[in-house]
Amino acid sequence: MATFTPRTRFLSHLYRPRLHHRIYQVRNVPPIHRSQHTHTHAPPEPIRLKLPPTLSLFIAASGLIYYAATLHISPQPKNLNPQTFTAYTLTSKTPVATSPPSHTAIFSLRPEHPPGQQLPFTEGILSVQVKQPQLQIARSYTPLPSNPGEEKDGTLRFLVKLEPGGEVTRYLFSLGLQDKVFLRGPMVEYTFPPVGEVDKTLFIAGGTGVAPALQLAANSLTPETEIFWAVRSRAETEGAMAEEVEDLVRKTGGKVSVKVFVDAEGGIGIQDVERGMEGGKVAVVVSGPEGFIKRVAGEKTWREGREEQGKLGGVVRKVLEKRGGEVRVFKL
Ligand SMILES: Cc1cc2nc3c(=O)[nH]c(=O)nc-3n(C[C@H](O)[C@H](O)[C@H](O)COP(=O)(O)OP(=O)(O)OC[C@H]3O[C@@H](n4cnc5c(N)ncnc54)[C@H](O)[C@@H]3O)c2cc1C
């Protein structure tokens, strides 16, 4: 019998009570949601009003005074927080591969003000929202594990894939070095199990879904983490990302292993997952595009505007049906 634990996301360090519901509220803020692709920006027919010049001047002056007053009343926040957007500076943008050119890059963002506190990386997998200022929408991204020295200045690094028609990724890729970016967060997307509850985490990641896998591998207290990383082309795993993965494996001293599966070479098979799920009490975490999550562990569902874990399906279910037993599964 499969124990399928529908755990949810929360801002534990900020809101202790009603953790589960808090998550969904944050997640369901319409402009932030990953699955919300209903951005129709067709401008309405312009309505031209003829106002006397003195009235126009008065309205313009009032607007300016209001703007200045608002800026004065609500100064820019200095620390990253889930309610308001905090200014960061883009300090580097490294394509994952240059040959062939890749549509995925690592963005480094340094806070304008030194951070007053560290992010609670040891609590769970964190995400941070990036604002697209013209459209006033935001999307979530998962910070990669920090590089030495970056922890102190609060630099956050993100692995981002350019979506050709995507609003926030096109905006991010259009930015130049030293441009400002506004971030809000963190949100806890998955809480690490307490020590002793899990012997091994099998993280099955598709594409940029490897970012939360690396974050978990760097911070969770589980004795062993095995990452299965499925990619369309091997180039996605080379260059900057190869360094990223090698660094992490070295730093964690054998606790973490990463296996790459290229779609064209067969991808992740049922035998791979079956083998990955061996090793005592195993937690399976799945992250990636919707279709990938569905194929690996069944699709996530929506109820009353909230995203839920849905039934266990896909390859993980097949493994359980074949060999029996229990497994904890979480779909990011
Ligand atoms: C917790 C969390 C963590 C994440 N971490 C990462 C991360 O680390 N790295 C990463 O790259 N991504 C991550 N994502 C995904 C990310 O939040 C965005 O969803 C992704 O970058 C696309 O955003 P966008 O605004 O560029 O695209 P969107 O504007 O949302 O569009 C996405 C796709 O849908 C298409 N589309 C848009 N509107 C329509 C429409 N009306 N009809 C048909 N198609 C449409 C676009 O062409 C595009 O291909 C994460 C998501 C979540 C929820």
Whether residue 197 is found in the same domain as residue 327: yes
Last residue of a domain, one of 163, 189, 215: 189
Q: Which of 2, 1, 9 is nearest to 297 (CA)?
A: 2
Domain containing 211: what range?
191-331
**Tens-place pLDDT, residues 322-331:** 988 889 999 9
Spatial separation of the C-alpha atoms in residues 32 and 122, rounded to whole Å: 24
Atom number of ligand 1 nearest to Cα 139:
17
Residues 6+ positions from 169 with CB-CB distance below 8 Å? 139, 160, 161, 162, 163
Ligand 1 centre to CA of 255 (Å) is 32
Position with higher pLDDT, 237 vs 47: 237
pLDDT, residue 12, reads: 38
Whether residue 235 is found in the same domain as residue 262: yes
pLDDT, residue 62, reads: 67
The answer to whether position 20 is within a domain reads: no
Q: Is the CB of 141 under 6 A from ligand 1?
A: yes
Binding site residue list for FAD: 139, 141, 159, 161, 168
Last residue of a domain, one of 189, 224, 253: 189
Q: Is the CB of 163 under 6 A from ligand 1?
A: yes
| Candidate from 28, 141, 159, 292 with most ligand 1 atoms within 8 A of CB, to mutate | 141
Domain total of the chain: 2
**Tens-place pLDDT, residues 44-103:** 454 555 656 676 676 666 666 555 554 444 567 889 999 999 999 999 999 998 777 778
pLDDT, residue 294, reads: 97
Residue 245: pLDDT above 60? Answer: yes
170 pLDDT tier (thresholds 50, 70, 90) = very high
Q: Is the CB of 39 under 6 A from ligand 1?
A: yes
Q: Is the CB of 189 under 6 A from ligand 1?
A: yes
Pick from 80-94, 143-157, 216-230: least confident: 143-157
Answer whether 209's CB lies under 8 Å from 161's CB.
Answer: no
Ligand 1 centre to CA of 289 (Å) is 9
The answer to whether position 24 is within a domain reads: no
The answer to whether position 273 is within a domain reads: yes
Whether residue 182 is found in the same domain as residue 217: no
What CATH number should be reported for the domain holding residue 111? 2.40.30.10
Q: Is the CB of 255 under 6 A from ligand 1?
A: no
Whether residue 260 is found in the same domain as residue 319: yes
What CATH number should be reported for the domain holding residue 316? 3.40.50.80
**Tens-place pLDDT, residues 294-316:** 999 999 999 999 999 999 999 99
Binding site residue list: 139, 141, 159, 161, 168
| Candidate from 9, 34, 159 with most ligand 1 atoms within 8 A of CB, to mutate | 34
Residue 285: pLDDT above 80? Answer: yes
Whether residue 206 is found in the same domain as residue 183: no
Residue nearest to atom 36 of ligand 1 (CA): 37
pTM of the model: 0.80
Ligand 1 centre to CA of 12 (Å) is 25
Ligand 1 centre to CA of 163 (Å) is 7
Residue 215 backbone dihedrals phi, psi, to 5 degrees: -65, -45
147 pLDDT tier (thresholds 50, 70, 90) = confident
Phi-psi group of 77: left, alpha or beta (phi > 0 → left; psi -120 to 50 → alpha; rest → beta): beta
Residue nearest to atom 26 of ligand 1 (CA): 166
Mapping DSSP onto H, E and C, the string for the chain reads: CCCCCCCCCECCCCCCCCHHHHHHHHHCCHHHCCCCCCCCCCCCCCCCCCCCHHHHHHHHHHHHHHHHHHHHHCCCCCCCCCCCCEEEEEEEEEECCCCCCCCEEEEEEEECCCCCCCCCCCCEEEEEEEEECCCCEEEEECECCCCCCHHHHCCEEEEEECCCCCHHHHHHHHCCCCCEEEEEEEEEEEECCCCCCCCEEEEEEEHHHHHHHHHHHHHCCCCEEEEEEEECCHHHHCHHHHHHHHHHHHHCCCCEEEEEEEHHHCCCCHHHHHHHCCCCCEEEEEECCHHHHHHHHCCCEEECCEEECCCCCHHHHHHHHHHCCCCEEEEC
The answer to whether position 213 is within a domain reads: yes
